[in-house]
Structure 1
Amino acid sequence: MNAPQLQLNSIYLPKLAEVIRTEQLTKMEKLFEIRLLNGQDLGHQPGQFVEVSLLGIGEAPISISSSPTKKGSFELAVRAVGNVTKALHKLEKGAIIGIRGPYGKGFPVEEMKGKDILFVAGGIGLVPLRSLINYVLDKRSDFGRVLILFGAKTPAEQLFLDELAGWRTRPDLEYWETVDRADGKWKGNVGVITTLFPKININPEKTVAVIVGPPVMYRFAILEAQVKGIPDEQIIVSLERRMKCGVGKCGHCQINHLYVCQDGPVFKFAQIKDIKEAI
């Protein structure tokens, strides 16, 4: 008698969801606004992820890009790199997909309250970081200074252009941006994201640095944060690599004794600095 109920509560059973809006962000990235068909909010924390499934194709772990302060729907920004994500890019408004989650440990927002927050986003690292940035901005009075450093390979690869434009002019945050390679219209900084660190002045004891980007970026960005005097306990990273099942069963994301999908994807650098494979 209990078997049907157990099946309905299975961690492997997706909830049905509808795509209610799409937006092409760049040539490779597309934004999806999604609502669960059961009418519930996703109930995530900034930094968590979901498993997105397409019938007959498969599923993939995708970072949640919207803040939990956004009610009624949530957003995923998806790069077309594999079978599932390429199939997702073909979907439009009204499509039905499967959602498992949210999974993982998100950013420690309660610990961060009252602190200055230094966001360091490299390329598509802005996708998961956007969830936390918008959460902080929606609860602006709970935090100190907000500084955002954003780097992209080229101006054409910058994400969320409308939001970047708003950040440039907001009086309650400090925003710096750079590109590795400029085009004819670019008037800003040219260079990797670490070239932005000398431009900022911070109080290291009061600052939490949140760093998300491609693997090659972490070592150098963390070093710059350390040079600024930020303690390892106050440097936070998100390791979103090799995740598959999302629930710690397949071992695909295991790094020594850690399962990225459960122990992370968010870690304090102090937790992982002695694990060679982590960074």
Structure 2
Amino acid sequence: MIPEVYKVIHRQEEYPGTFTLHLESPASPPMVYGPGQFNMLYAFGTGESAISFSGLEVEEGLLVHTIRAQGTVTRALERLKKGDSLGVRGPFGRGWPLQGIEGKELLLIAGGLGLAPLRPVVYRAWQGKLKASRARLFYGARRPTELLYGDEIPHWIAKLDVVMSVDHGDNAWPGHIGVITDPLQASDIDGANTVAFLCGPEIMMRFCIQVLLRKGVPESAIYLSMERNMKCAIGLCGHCQWGPNFICKDGPVFCYQDIRAWFQIHGL
């Protein structure tokens, strides 16, 4: 429950209102975590916010978090500059089940900021460290200027199957215009041999799951990362209760088969 002090060693503006912080701890050994887990980032004098890891598990001892400024805490984190300090608690939660993808095709489906929790898995696929037979990334955003990690995506495309879509394109946009479910529906998917990881707006995940089920992907092979207002990160405060689950403790990654009944209740 006691934050450890980290320093910002690099700040990357992704697009207005969304940024990536690279954090360094004076302590050793470095924090060990899994893709899909999260930290509680503490802006001194303001409060904490739950933010997923968006970098490699061990990246020269650094922690990488991509953040959208949309509340009091995240706006305070947005004001941090290189050399500033913040508090870190973690890691928390249950991440992506990489142990269950051996020999299978892996679909990574992200919408908007949802690419951040999937980025560590993309890195593994790009480096050839996954045991999946094939990995494909479907990534949707509102417009081309709101694509995360724009300087990295060309390198990913060189080694991975990447399909991108934007809601609002222009004449310079070479990809699909519309919702990401369209190219997903048009893709050839071997449902019985596929595992899917999804992260993004809940409405996007809802429709993508419908497409996956129609293509024969079992409910037990679909995993999604949920976001709720997490405060304590250990299942005590109750802020993130969702049905019988606490997002911070039992998630944020869930198997669709286990949470289907609650996921289908709009507004829950």
Partner of 2:84: 95
AA at the equivalent of 1:51 = M
RMSD value, Cα: 1.5
Deviations 1:206-231 (A, max 9, x none): 11011110111121010011111100
Give 5+ residue unaligned stretches, structure 1.
1-11
Partner of 2:93: 104
SS of corresponding position for 2:198: strand
Partner of 1:16: 5
Q: Percent identity?
A: 35
Matched length: 266
SS of corresponding position for 2:100: helix
Q: Distance in 1 between matches of 2:224 and 2:190?
A: 20
Q: How does 1:225-236 map to 2 (within 5 A)?
A: 225-236=212-223
Q: Are 1:43 and 2:9 counterparts? A: no
- Alpha-carbon shift at residue 139 of structure 1 (Å): 4.3
- In our comparison, the structure showing a higher alpha carbon Rg is 1
Partner of 2:188: 201
SS of corresponding position for 2:196: strand
Q: Distance in 1 between matches of 2:92 and 2:256?
A: 20
Q: Distance in 2 between matches of 1:222 and 1:80?
A: 28
Q: Are 1:237 and 2:250 counterparts? A: no
Q: How does 1:134-153 map to 2 (within 5 A)?
A: 134-140=123-129, 142-153=131-142
- Alpha-carbon shift at residue 251 of structure 1 (Å): 0.3
SS of corresponding position for 2:40: strand
Given candidates 42, 48, 64, the residue that maps to 1:59 is: 48
Partner of 1:6: none
Q: Distance in 1 between matches of 2:113 and 2:218?
A: 26
Cα pair 1:46 1:135 within 8 Å, conserved: no
AA at the equivalent of 2:7 = E
TM-score normalised to structure 2 length? 0.95
SS of corresponding position for 1:86: helix
Give 5+ residue unaligned stretches, structure 2.
none
TM-score normalised to structure 1 length? 0.91
- Alpha-carbon shift at residue 141 of structure 1 (Å): 5.5
Q: Distance in 1 between matches of 2:125 and 2:28?
A: 26
Deviations 1:76-111 (A, max 9, x none): 001011111111111111111100001000011111
